[in-house]
Homo-oligomer: A and B are copies of this chain.
Amino acid sequence: MDVSELPAPTGPWSLTDIDPSATPGWSEGKAAGRAHLESLGPELADLQERLFAEGRTRPGARRVLLVLQGMDTSGKGGTVRKVMRLLDPQGVRVASFSSPTPEELSHDFLWRVRPRVPAPGQVGVFDRSHYEDVLIARVRSLVPADEVERRYAAIRDFEAELVAGGTRVVKVLLHVSPDEQRRRLLERLDDPTKHWKFSPADIDDRALWADYQRAYEIAVERTTTPDAPWFVVPAESKWYRNLAVASLLLRELRALDLEWPSASFDPDEQRRRLVDADPLATAAEQA
């Protein structure tokens, strides 16, 4: 799919202008969309293995960080399950950020985030992230307004630092309508195997829908940069959401121009050690 058609606001914008059931960049429907997602698997896996190999062989190897944000039920967890499964679990690190602990609150908001950024060669996913600290923090006035202001700049600096250190940063806002959220919340309430995903606080947050939408609009406007862009992914069609996020991830991996690491040894010499001078020749012949 053509990810350049995904909404990527760079100035003042409004979430209400974006149709959460649209499928920008993909016009071929659901069945073809699902098939296309599967077809991306081999290239995603190949590029990720090259990245992982770089991580094993080169100090300061590169990495990718995918930040997922969105209202409750917008599908952050489902995206991780369906998209990250295309990659090798060895090279994936998912970090989920829930309410900060008292210890975390006693530090700067980035304190708990820094140790969880992807290691060299890894694809990291943040399921919620440091953006909670300018979203719920703003909507619920958890900190003074000037502290929220300070944080936008702190986030830009933090992400610029990640980029300078060799991390590609891509940020995704999963977009659903209030109606779809109600439907999904009711589904969770109706199914005892989904009760654990529900909290009465989800409905409290829902009551603040407009405030959250505004907080997202401001956060995106203040923190989208050419090197750490935001994309708004309409997320009412789950197959489209998965396809869009996988396509964004693929774009980042392609942009790294990943090569297989070159050998730091002479393969012929090592082959001779194994064939002509194998220390275990006898044992091997007996085996």
| A271 contact from B180, B186, B274, B278, Cβ within 8 A | B186
Q: Is the CB of B80 within 8 A of A209?
A: no
Q: Which of B192, B193, B263 contacts A195 (CB 8 A)?
A: B263
Contact across chains for B263 and A192 when beta carbons are under 8 A apart? yes
Q: Tell me, yes or no, whether A88 is within 8 Å of chain B by CB.
A: yes
Report how many residues on chain A are interfacial, defined by Cβ distance under 8 Å: 58
Which A residues, 36 to 60, have Cβ-Cβ distances below 8 Å to chain B?
53, 56-57
Q: Which residue of B lies closest to A119 (CB)?
A: B96
Interface 0/1 of A175-216, CB less than 8 Å to B: 001111010011001101101111110010011011000000
Does A195 lie within 8 Å of B267, measured CB to CB? yes
- Contact present for B260 and A189 (CB under 8 Å): no
What is the CA–CA distance of A77 and B55 in the complex, to the nearest angstrom?
15
Q: Is A25 an interface residue (CB 8 A)?
A: no
Q: Are B81 and A200 in contact (CB-based, < 8 A)? A: no
Residues in B whose Cβ lies below 8 Å from that of A182: 274, 278, 280, 284
| Residue A132 lies at the interface, judged by CB distance under 8 Å to chain B | no
CB <8 Å contact, A178 and B284? yes
Cross-interface CB contact of A178 among B87, B203, B283, cutoff 8 Å: B283
Measured CB to CB, the closest approach of chain B to A205, in angstroms, equals: 10
Q: Is A85 positioned at the interface, with any CB of B under 8 Å from its CB?
A: yes
A251-274: contact bitstring with B at CB < 8 Å (1 yes, 0 no)? 000000000111101010011011
- A280 in contact with B206 (CB, 8 Å): yes
8 Å CB contact of A90 from B88, B127, B190, B267: B127
Of B180, B196, B203, B210, which is within 8 A of A274 by CB?
B203
Q: With A270-B203, A273-B203, A279-B207 as given contacts, are A260 and B90 in contact (CB-CB < 8 Å)?
A: no
Please tell me if A31 contacts chain B, counting CB pairs below 8 Å.
Answer: no
Q: Does A172 contact B (CB under 8 A)?
A: no
Chain B residue numbers with a CB within 8 Å of A267 are: 189-190, 195
Q: Shortest Cβ distance from A282 into chain B, in angstroms?
A: 9
Contact status A56-B189, CB under 8 Å: no
If A182-B274, A207-B280, A210-B283 are given as contacts, then 5 extra A-B residue pairs at C-beta distance below 8 Å, sorted by A number, are A77-B90, A177-B284, A195-B260, A206-B279, A209-B280
Binding site for B on A (CB under 8 A): 53, 56-57, 77, 80-81, 84-85, 87-90, 92-94, 96, 125, 127, 177-180, 182, 185-186, 189-190, 192-193, 195-200, 203, 206-207, 209-210, 260-263, 265, 267, 270-271, 273-275, 278-280, 283-285, 287
